[in-house]
């Protein structure tokens, strides 16, 4: 990516396109220096893999700034792979692309990245970045494998075979680093491209089992039709981390109300499938009222007590993560789980 902050990644326990193979931020943080609301400075973890005592590093990663301020991080560095292959699989139906995702992982191959984009996204990207994506495709999968050269060659052929067996119209394999970067440029510029076709867009961040992607894409389409909204999908399909982009005009209050409703319905649907309300963007204030759909009252009480140990006065990032009457949400729509 062109921009990235380690502190932001730690606060949200962020993932990304390569989460499927490498995990999320917490898998790469060995230790932290943290300033508590009291002014105390503490150190967690260290350079060894198995530090004694409680896993305070894991506690702070993903805490969204509610427990303390990270001022230093010790991270694990990974060796660059010997070889990389990038493929673009093109589909005439969203269902076929979605079914391929589960089929690839079921085959025993773990790609470094497995991204999905729908037609609305593809057309926005082509108008903006000219990445060579087919405008008439219903969806594409951007797939990357990396490792030892011989292994990568074999896995790329196997994945191409899986894609073809699941009704891919064609499978392109990047033949050079320039072509590979061009394929990725479309994915990396997707959000900026979508910003050019509507005054505003609202990005959601739900998580579902990857075997339920096709079903979820159909549900999102139904929400789009029923509420009269354009929803573009570009997301980390390999780990089921959705990013529906709801396009709208924030100056239109009624349309904005429908956008918030659509987002809440999509997240509630994710929960109904055994998923989550966030994969990497966090809960913040926007989603804290959805937390009771994921956790029991006892669960939330224990987490609240844990927060009060570090941040008893609630000075650090107040009203975030947990439901509260003190938050200042512009629009609140009660979520409903769709069966």
Model pLDDT for residues 39-65, shown as the tens digit of each residue:
999 999 988 878 889 999 999 999 999
- Report the chain's mean pLDDT, rounded to a whole number: 94
Whether residue 1 lies inside any domain: the answer is no
CA 85, 96, 190, 244 dihedral sign is negative
What is the domain-level CATH number for residue 278? 3.30.70.2740
Per-residue CA distances from 70 to 36, 57, 322 (Å): 9, 10, 21
Q: Is the pLDDT of residue 100 over 60?
A: yes
Task: Tell which residue, 50, 74, 49, has the closest CA to residue 60.
Answer: 74
Confidence of residue 111 (pLDDT cuts 50, 70, 90): very high
Q: Which of 23, 41, 75 is the last residue of a domain?
A: 75
Q: Where are the beta strands (DSSP E) in 138-255?
A: 139-147, 168-173, 200-203, 230-235, 244-248
- 87 CB-contact burial (10 Å; exposed 0-12 / middle 13-18 / buried 19+): buried
Q: Is the pLDDT of residue 334 over 90?
A: no
Whether residue 120 lies inside any domain: the answer is yes
Q: What is the mean pLDDT of residues 232-245?
A: 97
Confidence of residue 313 (pLDDT cuts 50, 70, 90): very high
Q: Which of 54, 75, 96 is the last residue of a domain?
A: 75
Do 254 and 126 lie in a common domain? no
Q: What is the pLDDT of residues 252-278, one digit of tens each?
A: 999 999 999 999 999 999 999 999 999
pLDDT at position 284: 94
Would you give the DSSP letter of residue 276? Answer: B
Do 263 and 299 lie in a common domain? yes
Contact of 258 with 247, CB cutoff 8 Å: no
Whether residue 255 lies inside any domain: the answer is yes
Cα 87 to chain centroid distance, Å, stands at 21
CA dist 62 and 295 (Å) reads: 17
Q: 40-68 b/e with 16+ CB inside 10 Å = b?
A: eeeebbeeeeeeeeeebbebbbbbbbbbb
What is the domain-level CATH number for residue 20? 3.30.465.10
Q: Is the pLDDT of residue 327 over 90?
A: no
Per DSSP, helices labelled H in 189-295 are 190-194, 213-227, 253-272, 291-294
Task: Tell which residue, 173, 182, 193, 198, has the closest CA to residue 251.
Answer: 198
Range of the domain at 211: 198-339
Do 185 and 210 lie in a common domain? no
Q: Is the pLDDT of residue 186 over 50?
A: yes
Q: Is the pLDDT of residue 324 over 90?
A: no
Do 135 and 217 lie in a common domain? no
Contact of 11 with 282, CB cutoff 8 Å: yes
Do 208 and 335 lie in a common domain? yes
Q: What is the pLDDT of residues 63-89, one digit of tens each?
A: 999 999 999 999 999 999 999 999 999
Q: Which of 192, 211, 238 is the last residue of a domain?
A: 192
Do 172 and 102 lie in a common domain? yes
Contact of 131 with 125, CB cutoff 8 Å: yes
CA dist 119 and 92 (Å) reads: 10
**How many domains are there within the chain?**
3
Which pTM does this prediction carry?
A: 0.92
Q: In the chain, what percentage of residues exceed pLDDT 70?
A: 95
Q: Is the pLDDT of residue 159 over 80?
A: yes
């Amino acid at each position: 990516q062109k921009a990235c902050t380690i502190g932001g990644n730690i606060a949200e326990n962020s993932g990304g396109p390569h989460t499927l193979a490498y995990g999320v931020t917490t898998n790469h943080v060995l230790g932290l220096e943290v300033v508590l609301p009291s002014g105390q400075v503490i150190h967690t973890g260290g350079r060894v893999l198995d530090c004694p005592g409680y896993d305070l590093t894991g506690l702070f990663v993903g805490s969204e700034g509610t427990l303390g301020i990270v001022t230093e991080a010790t991270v694990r560095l990974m060796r660059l792979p010997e070889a990389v292959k990038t493929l673009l699989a093109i589909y005439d139906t969203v269902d076929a692309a979605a079914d391929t995702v589960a089929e690839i992982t079921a085959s025993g191959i773990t790609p470094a990245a497995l991204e999905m984009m729908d037609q609305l996204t593809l057309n926005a990207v082509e108008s903006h970045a000219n990445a060579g994506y087919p405008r008439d495709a219903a969806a594409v999968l951007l797939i990357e494998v990396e490792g030892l050269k011989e292994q990568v060659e074999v896995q790329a052929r196997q994945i191409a075979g899986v894609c073809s067996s699941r009704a891919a119209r064609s499978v392109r394999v990047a033949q050079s680093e320039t072509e590979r970067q061009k394929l990725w440029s479309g994915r990396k510029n997707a959000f900026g491209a979508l910003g050019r076709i509507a005054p505003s867009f609202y990005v959601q961040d739900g998580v579902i089992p990857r075997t339920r992607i096709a079903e979820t894409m159909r549900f999102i389409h139904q929400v789009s039709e029923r509420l009269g909204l354009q929803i573009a999908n570009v997301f980390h399909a390999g780990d089921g981390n959705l990013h529906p982009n709801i396009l709208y005009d924030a100056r239109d209050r009624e349309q904005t109300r429908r956008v918030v409703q659509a987002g809440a319905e999509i997240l509630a649907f994710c929960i109904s499938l055994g998923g989550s309300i966030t994969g990497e963007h966090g809960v913040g204030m926007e989603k804290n009222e959805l937390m009771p759909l994921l956790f029991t009252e006892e669960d939330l009480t224990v987490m609240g007590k844990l927060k009060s140990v570090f941040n008893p006065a609630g000075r650090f990032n107040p009203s975030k993560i947990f439901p509260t009457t003190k938050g200042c949400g512009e629009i609140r729509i009660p979520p409903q789980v769709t069966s």
